[in-house]
Structure 1
Amino acid sequence: MLADDSLRTLITHRLRTFDRQELPSTGTRRAAVALALIEEGFGAALPGARAPTLWSTDAAVLLTRRALSLRNHPNQWALPGGSIDGDESPEQAALRELHEEVGLQLEPDAILGRLDDFVTRSGFAITPIVVWAGSARSLVPSEAEVASIHRIPVDEFMRADAPMLDPIDDSVHPVLRMPVGDTWIAAPTAAFLYQFREVCIAGRITRVAHYEQPLFARR
């Protein structure tokens, strides 16, 4: 799957026609994440994966591993993102966080659309913003926030064993995980990735806000 104009047009169309679920703007702490479509490049995207010898233009999603020094969720998989400041829109916050966390500065026309809001157990209402990042050859992790940057091929999220749904004692809804290589990503990041796969790539209307997070991700 190439990161080309036809893929960008397809994703843009599907997001524009997607009847997304939006949460009220009051009474919750607001945050935004950037689900950035990017070329796979040279990076060994998956744990233990072999790096391409030539620059790959296959479509990938930009993810990070959070810095070990962070108080909340150290070393967990994440999409670049954070709290919405002041009068920022979710789109403005997502683009700012991309720049702060991985040194990627994009213009507003890179925004393709939004997926459903997701409320975390820690009390944040997160809006996922899908953006087009192109080749993005020069990425620089923020020492304070990011341990490593990964370009995960979109095809990896189309695996037949995804999503992984696990029962949990304190909820009628299962915990959602997305497999990546020989490991996995937990919700809420996994929820955004799964809905992206379903809505933007497979063309299926799929809701994810009801899925649970594992206990370690609720802090």
Structure 2
Amino acid sequence: MTGFSFDDGLRSAIAGRLSRFEHRRRADAGGLKRAAVAVVVVEDEAPGEAAFLLTRRTPRLRSHGGQWALPGGRVDPDETIEQTALRELHEELGVQATPDDILGTLDDYPTRSGYLIAPVVVWSTQATLVLSPEEVSAAYRIGCRELFRDGSPEIVAIAESDRPIIRLPLPVATVNAPTAAVLYQFREVALAGRDTRVDHFEQPVFAWR
């Protein structure tokens, strides 16, 4: 797979595909806590190529410490998922994005740890990241082309569930669901134009807590 150019053509293509995609948004969270994450499309370290931002959570966090994640967090009262995604993106990585930078949304993804995650796709031209030391130990720009690696995604059966887990081999690590599920749907819907659902994919047991 060749790279994706970080230009107005890609931005328009992603926005168009997301606007046509009938995302599944649950009116009733079913006891799950609502959360939002930002799938942030940025320019890669190789100029002209499109990438996305991936973070490593600091191991000091009580919940999911040390895990690979997208910027995001719990939705505050009277806050939309879009507002949450933009707020968390600024708090965690210092990226100042506006509603005009939002390209669309993907399906809600329920997690074993009690959250209903709404992914929001954001376009950012900001070059510098300012990491929150309380939440993020590292952040990486991963070329969008890496989502199309041979053998990706990896779909693996586990004894603890009748649903298979999904994971993505990326240059920095092999990333598991829920992050892998969100990024795979981003790949399929936003980059490839294929309507694909991912809420049937399981998470590894270590992420159930």
Q: Normalized against structure 1, the TM-score is what? A: 0.91
**1:10-58: CA deviations, max 9, x gaps?**
00000000011111244321000000000112xxxxxxxxxxxxx5221
Question: Which residue does 1:201 correspond to in 2?
Answer: 191
Deviating runs (4+, > 4 A) in structure 1?
none
Question: Which residue does 1:33 correspond to in 2?
Answer: 37
1:5 is aligned to 2:8? yes
Question: Which residue does 2:174 correspond to in 1?
Answer: 184
**CA 1:61 to 1:186, structure 2 compared with 1: closer, same or farther past 3 Å?**
same
**What code does the residue aligned with 2:152 have?**
A
1:216 is aligned to 2:206? yes
**What code does the residue aligned with 1:128 have?**
P
Q: How does 1:41-80 map to 2 (within 5 A)?
A: 41=45, 56-80=47-71
Equivalent in 12, 15, 18 of residue 18 of structure 2:
15
Question: Which residue does 2:94 correspond to in 1?
Answer: 103
**CA 1:114 to 1:182, structure 2 compared with 1: closer, same or farther past 3 Å?**
closer
**CA distance in structure 2 between the aligned counterparts of 1:193 and 1:110, rounded to whole angstroms:** 19
**CA 1:93 to 1:161, structure 2 compared with 1: closer, same or farther past 3 Å?**
same
**CA distance in structure 1 between the aligned counterparts of 2:181 and 2:79, rounded to whole angstroms:** 24
**CA 1:40 to 1:182, structure 2 compared with 1: closer, same or farther past 3 Å?**
closer
1:174 is aligned to 2:178? no
Q: How far is 1:68 from its partner?
A: 1.6
| Residue range with higher mean Cα deviation, 109-118 or 182-191 | 182-191
Mark the runs of 5 or more structure 2 residues left unpaired by the alignment: none
Q: Normalized against structure 2, the TM-score is what? A: 0.95
**CA distance in structure 1 between the aligned counterparts of 2:161 and 2:127, rounded to whole angstroms:** 43
Q: How far is 1:196 from its partner?
A: 0.5
Same amino acid, percent of matched pairs: 51
**CA distance in structure 1 between the aligned counterparts of 2:116 and 2:188, rounded to whole angstroms:** 21
Equivalent in 140, 149, 156 of residue 130 of structure 2:
140
Mark the runs of 5 or more structure 1 residues left unpaired by the alignment: 42-54
Q: Secondary structure at the match of 1:56?
A: coil
**1:164-195: CA deviations, max 9, x gaps?**
01101122210000110273001000001000
**CA distance in structure 2 between the aligned counterparts of 1:61 and 1:212, rounded to whole angstroms:** 23
The size of the alignment, in residue pairs, is 205
Q: How far is 1:2 from its partner?
A: 1.1
**CA distance in structure 2 between the aligned counterparts of 1:184 and 1:56, rounded to whole angstroms:** 25
**What code does the residue aligned with 2:64 have?**
H
